[in-house]
């Protein structure tokens, strides 16, 4: 059953949700919109289609302490110091970012389960946000994502002056119950407005410039053919080897674990890493990917061949378009798919 709330009451909804858990939503920090903690004076920006970083941070944070070691004389004590596991809500997550959690789940929740990630997934409630006006660098449709009616624990649509609420899971319904008094029941007239909204959104998605990216040839059987393609050299030559694409990507999942000498002990932490970096997976024997061509190839081979080969053919890209928007030199996965996809590349 769809519920409804006048848009001017949205502050009350946030207040209600935040009364017994932490609420994260798109917030403006000097012109840049990122997910941030809601406070009564936060500059909430639901009008922005995409946040710079994705909602990945709340489940797989950029840095997190894992364990600490302390030495006293000959004794070494191990101190487990986990962040408190508290319920939280991420509000306004677009369909692409919702899908990205499914992709991360397949990595972090398979054996051996990543207990840090698992705890956050269990504590987190996702309120997704239907896209009314997709942008030209969006291509989630290529991956079968319906931006007009995304998955999530609950979904909101903003149509005109109204917000529509659609709980989809038990977690979503529980959240709905706690904010119940604010909502009214949607009417048949509302259903028409929603139908119209979704159709319009899908119609726009259907004529986005990147909608026809062809992924057919990216399959396990083509692994060597793609790997050996001479095009990687050409595609990677502009890459400056920064980690922008990796860090704005909702599905990039690589991390490093390091020890930090605090002067009176050791703090072991993990942090995001980027396959674009020269010290990525550096081992005693040196680096197994010495050139930027190899590092660049790794990122796209992982997303388009290796990951799907291990995960029922699901690509590790959701078409959010963040890398398209943010790469310093405008190289991105769309260009890679365009160059390597479709026609088979002879070596």
Partner 1 sequence: MRRIRDMIRGRAGELLRDGTVNRVLGWTNGEFYYDPNPAIFETEKSLDSLVYNGFSAAMLSKYLIEATKKEGRVLVFLKPCDTYSFNHLLKEHKVNREKTYVIGIGCGGMLDIEKLRTLGAKGIESIDEEGENVVAHTLYGDKTFARRDALLEKCLSCKGKEHKVYDELAVADDLWEWETVNRFTKVGELEGMGPGERFSFWRGELSRCIRCNACRNACPVCSCLKCVFDNPRSGVQAKANADSFEENMFHIIRAFHVAGRCSDCGECSRVCPQNIPLHLLNRKFIKDINAFYGEYQAGAVAEGKSPLTEYATGDVEPSIVYERGGA
Task: Check residue 207 for interaction with partner 1 (CB under 8 A).
Answer: yes
Sole binder of partner 1 in the list 187, 271, 288, 347 (CB under 8 A) = 271
Least distance between partner 1 and beta carbon 35 (Å): 12
Least distance between partner 1 and beta carbon 328 (Å): 3
Task: Check residue 220 for interaction with partner 1 (CB under 8 A).
Answer: no
Report yes or no: 30 and 43 within 8 Å, Cβ to Cβ.
no
Phi then psi for 21, rounded to 5 degrees? Answer: -160, 165
Contact set for partner 1, span 281-300 (CB under 8 A): 282
Angle at 293 between CA 103 and CA 296, to 5 degrees: 20
Token readout for 8 is 């001017």
Token readout for 124 is 């987190």
Task: Check residue 30 for interaction with partner 1 (CB under 8 A).
Answer: yes
Instruction: Compare residues 105 and 259 and give the one whose CB is closer to partner 1.
Output: 259
Least distance between partner 1 and beta carbon 194 (Å): 20
Least distance between partner 1 and beta carbon 69 (Å): 16
Task: Check residue 52 for interaction with partner 1 (CB under 8 A).
Answer: yes
Least distance between partner 1 and beta carbon 307 (Å): 22
For partner 1, which stretch binds (CB under 8 A), given 38-46, 87-95, 312-320, 330-338?
330-338
Task: Check residue 272 for interaction with partner 1 (CB under 8 A).
Answer: yes
Sole binder of partner 1 in the list 102, 136, 196, 199 (CB under 8 A) = 136
Instruction: Compare residues 1 and 343 and give the one whose CB is closer to partner 1.
Output: 343
Sole binder of partner 1 in the list 101, 103, 208, 317 (CB under 8 A) = 208
Task: Check residue 69 for interaction with partner 1 (CB under 8 A).
Answer: no
d(CA 26, CA 57): 13
Instruction: Compare residues 15 and 244 and give the one whose CB is closer to partner 1.
Output: 244
For partner 1, which stretch binds (CB under 8 A), given 2-10, 103-111, 145-153, 268-276?
268-276
H or E element at residue 340: helix 333-340
Written in H, E and C, the secondary structure of 70-98 is EEECCEEEEEECCCCCCCEEEEEECHHHH
Least distance between partner 1 and beta carbon 75 (Å): 25
Contacts 24+ apart (CB under 8 A), 134-137: 134/49, 134/201, 134/204, 134/205, 134/208, 135/49, 135/50, 135/321, 136/208, 136/209, 136/210, 137/210, 137/321, 137/324, 137/325, 137/334
Instruction: Compare residues 133 and 220 and give the one whose CB is closer to partner 1.
Output: 133
85's CB contacts (< 8 A; 6+ apart) are: 119, 120, 122, 123
d(CA 98, CA 96): 5
For partner 1, what does the binding mask look like between residues 242 and 261, x meaning CB under 8 A?
Answer: xxx-xxx-------x-x-x-
Task: Check residue 143 for interaction with partner 1 (CB under 8 A).
Answer: no
DSSP codes joined into one string, 161-187: TEEEEEE-SHHHHHHHHHTGGG-EE--
Instruction: Compare residues 3 and 235 and give the one whose CB is closer to partner 1.
Output: 235
Task: Check residue 203 for interaction with partner 1 (CB under 8 A).
Answer: no
H or E element at residue 295: helix 292-301
H or E element at residue 37: strand 32-37
| Tokens 């309120």, residue located | 127
Least distance between partner 1 and beta carbon 259 (Å): 11
Within 13 Å of residue 324, how many CA atoms lie on the same side as its CB? 20
Token readout for 82 is 């986990």
Q: Which residues are near partner 1 by CB under 8 A?
A: 29-32, 34, 49, 52-53, 62-63, 133-137, 204, 207-210, 234, 237-238, 240-244, 246-248, 256, 258, 260, 262, 267, 269, 271-274, 277-279, 282, 324-326, 328-332, 334-335, 338
């Amino acid at each position: 059953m769809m519920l409804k709330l006048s848009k001017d009451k949205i502050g009350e909804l946030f207040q209600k949700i935040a009364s017994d858990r932490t609420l994260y939503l798109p917030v403006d920090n000097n012109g840049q919109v990122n997910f941030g903690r809601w406070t009564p004076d936060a500059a909430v920006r639901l009008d922005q289609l995409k946040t710079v970083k994705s909602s990945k941070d709340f489940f797989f944070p950029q840095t997190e302490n894992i364990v600490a070691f302390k030495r006293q004389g000959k004794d070494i004590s191990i101190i487990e110091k986990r962040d408190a596991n508290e319920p939280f809500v991420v509000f306004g997550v677009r369909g692409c970012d919702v899908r990205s959690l499914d992709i991360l789940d397949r990595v972090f929740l398979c054996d051996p389960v990543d207990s840090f990630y698992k705890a956050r997934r269990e504590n987190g409630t996702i309120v997704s946000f239907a896209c009314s006006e997709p942008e030209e660098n969006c291509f989630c449709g290529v991956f079968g994502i319906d931006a007009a009616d995304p998955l999530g624990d609950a979904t909101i649509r903003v149509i005109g002056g109204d917000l529509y609420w659609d709980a989809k899971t038990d977690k979503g319904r529980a959240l709905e119950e706690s904010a119940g008094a604010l909502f009214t029941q949607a009417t048949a007239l509302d259903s028409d407005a929603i139908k119209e909204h979704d159709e319009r959104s899908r119609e726009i998605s259907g004529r986005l410039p990147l909608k026809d990216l062809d992924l057919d040839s990216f399959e396990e059987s083509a692994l060597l053919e793609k790997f050996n393609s001479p095009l990687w050299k050409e595609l990677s030559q502009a890459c400056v080897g920064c980690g922008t694409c990796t860090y704005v990507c909702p599905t990039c999942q690589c991390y490093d674990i390091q020890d930090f000498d605090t002067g009176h002990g050791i703090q072991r932490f993990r942090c995001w890493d980027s396959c674009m970096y020269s010290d990525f997976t550096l081992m005693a024997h040196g680096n197994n990917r010495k050139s930027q061509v190899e590092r660049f190839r790794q990122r796209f081979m992982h997303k388009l061949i290796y990951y799907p080969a291990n995960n029922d053919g699901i690509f590790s890209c959701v078409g959010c378009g963040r890398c398209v928007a943010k790469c310093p030199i405008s190289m991105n996965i769309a260009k890679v798919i365009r160059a390597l996809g479709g026609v088979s590349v002879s070596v």
